[in-house]
Amino acid sequence: MDELLRRKVDGYLAEWKNNHDRKPLIVKGARQIGKTRSIERFAERNYKSVVQINFVEQKKYKDIFDDGFEVNTILKNISLLNPELQFLPGDTLFFFDELQACPNCATALKFFKLDGRFDVICSGSPVGINYKEIESNSVGYKEEYEMSSMDFEEFLWAKGYTDDFVEDLYQHMLEVKPLANLKIDVLFDIFRDYVTIGGMPEVVNTYIKNKNFSGTLNMQRQLLKDYEEDITKYAEGLDKAKVKAVYNHISRFLAKENKRFQVTKIGKNARNRDYVGCVEWLADAGVINVCYCMNQPELPLKGNYDPKLYKIYFKDTGLLIASLDEEAQEDLRANKNLGTYKGAIYENIVGDMLAKQGYKLYYYNSDKPALEMDFFVRDADTLIPVEVKANDGATASLNNLLREDKYPDIRYGIKLGYKNIGSNGKYYTFPYFLTFLLKRFVAEKKREG
């Protein structure tokens, strides 16, 4: 069934194959986001021989590097374990899966590159015990691609929409031309489904096949349990109970008015210093997006934020919804009433859509003057506030940030909501579902000057 699921990594892999000076490739990302299936499909279509080794399921293959890293020696040891495998120079792909379980394999990548006869792709999850070690191995002789769960564009592809359809949406944004009522209604329906089930390929496949939500909630709850199991397995050097406590409190803090995550409110006598590294571990594992509070709404962003003030969002909004209680589930799935939960669901999905475009997440909150802004994006020399509206309330903060005399780095803003495309000369209004095109839009505005 997952033949339906076209992924952005497919295009990247095709480009990688066309580069004559290609290096061994590591595709990394959280578990169950479709890494293995995408690489297998690419391998089937492009190579006569595929040598696929999973270091978690086939532990004996970890020993193939014990006699050194010369490629012929590695081939000899692989042949000992499986004499039927073929090594055809120029037409063989070595696919090493679960790389995090075998750091020696990462060291071998340099030798595969220097040897030059075979292509190598690895996939790995950053939760692995040895991932830091892997990142420092074979520097200069490998390239990395970070993969995540499906973004909204990939979801549209899964629903049968084409590149031309997406391009037409983008042109409407550039020309600030409202979408036809039918189109916007249909897209909001699709978007609400995407928010509810998220972008995990297995969940999306079930939804596409059944044409409804049946079966998806159980799969999402299993994913939540799997991630919890990963904490137990891999959070080395940290108090696993504390990492779990952070993970299990995410939706509780998002339900609060200011949505800020506060370690001191997790439990009795909880102190920030006791939880050092817990949030970072979850972020590195690809489970959460962390959004930091800026000191001032100005450039640069790096260094201009408080590492102790942050919000935590689920990387996959479907998993946020699956973490809520039964009543919330019913309301969200049956009535598609995403406006409940104090706007947290909209913030979560917009944060994830921005993160999937490569943006780091920042917000701003100040009492004097009273100003709050959900997110900021930027181009080379402009800071752009992004306001996420769960309802059609006032935009006082956005208007205040656009006062030229006070915030010179801010030249225009973006407001996202249940709105059509528009502009009032100071900020652009876009429907939520177009967030996945913001990076392209911001780059185009920069070119126009």
pLDDT tens digits, one per residue of 182-214: 999 999 999 999 999 999 999 999 999 999 888
Comparing 50-64, 160-174, 233-247, which segment has the lowest mean pLDDT? Answer: 233-247
Q: How many helices (H) and strands (E) does the chain have?
A: 18, 14
Whole-angstrom distance, CA of residue 197 vs CA of residue 320: 10
Give the confidence band of 339 by pLDDT, cuts at 50, 70, 90: low
Pairing between β-strand 92-97 and β-strand 49-54 as defined by DSSP bridges = parallel
- Helices marked H in 238-343 — which ranges? 240-248, 250-254, 278-284, 317-322, 326-335
Contacts of 281 (CB under 8 A, 6+ apart): 231, 235, 238, 243
Q: What is the mean pLDDT of the segment spanning 349-375?
A: 93
Identify the residue whose tokens are 């792909």. 93
Per-residue pLDDT at 129 exceeds 80: no
Q: 356 and 422 in contact (C-beta within 8 Å)?
A: no
Give the residue carrying structure tokens 């999973």.
54
Q: How far apart are CA 35 and CA 243, in angstroms?
A: 25
More confident of the two residues 345 and 390: 345
Least confident stretch, 117-131, 310-324, 351-365: 117-131
Q: pTM here?
A: 0.93
Average pLDDT taken over every residue of the chain: 91
From the CB of residue 79, how many other CB atoms can be counted at a distance below 10 Å? 14
Q: How many CA atoms lie within 13 A of 446 on its CB side?
A: 15
The answer to whether 138 touches 107, Cβ cutoff 8 Å, is yes
| Percent of the chain topping pLDDT 70 | 94
| Per-residue model confidence as pLDDT tens digits over 257-312 | 889 999 999 988 888 888 888 999 999 888 999 999 999 999 998 889 999 999 99
Helix axes 103-115, 71-81, angle to 10 degrees: 120
